[in-house]
Amino acid sequence: DGGITQSPKYLFRKEGQNVTLSCEQNLNHDAMYWYRQDPGQGLRLIYYSQIVNDFQKGDIAEGYSVSREKKESFPLTVTSAQKNPTAFYLCASSEGQGRETQYFGPGTRLLVL
């Protein structure tokens, strides 16, 4: 079955630690996205990538980093510079760069110890 997988489902971060969230898709989609979800705030775009080896900052990129070395993978690193990382993180993908539907993975919940 085609889809988007995110791992782990839950992730715990210690103070000063960098952690990496995994996102993989087998839909052969060109574009991938990372969103952060906080209660009552909807989803906010962190980073997005329209093609391999290229990505752009979204609305709340500070304290995060990404890479896009393979078409199917778009990992997100939450760095120690992100002072309030506790949130639900959602990865999405779409076929291309135009008016395309975005499909979402199941999410990763990040908690701070």
Q: Where do contacts with another protein occur on this chain (CB under 8 A)?
A: 4, 6, 31, 35, 40-45, 48, 50, 56, 58, 88, 90, 92, 94, 96-107, 109
Least distance to another protein from the beta carbon of 81, Å?
Answer: 24
Tokens 């993989």: give the residue: 24
Nearer to another protein, 61 or 80 (CB): 61
Least distance to another protein from the beta carbon of 56, Å?
Answer: 7
Tokens 């393979």: give the residue: 70
Sequence-ordered strand ranges (E) for 58-112: 64-66, 76-78, 87-94, 103-104, 108-112
Burial (0-12, 13-18, 19+ Cβ within 10 Å), 25? buried
Least distance to another protein from the beta carbon of 44, Å?
Answer: 8
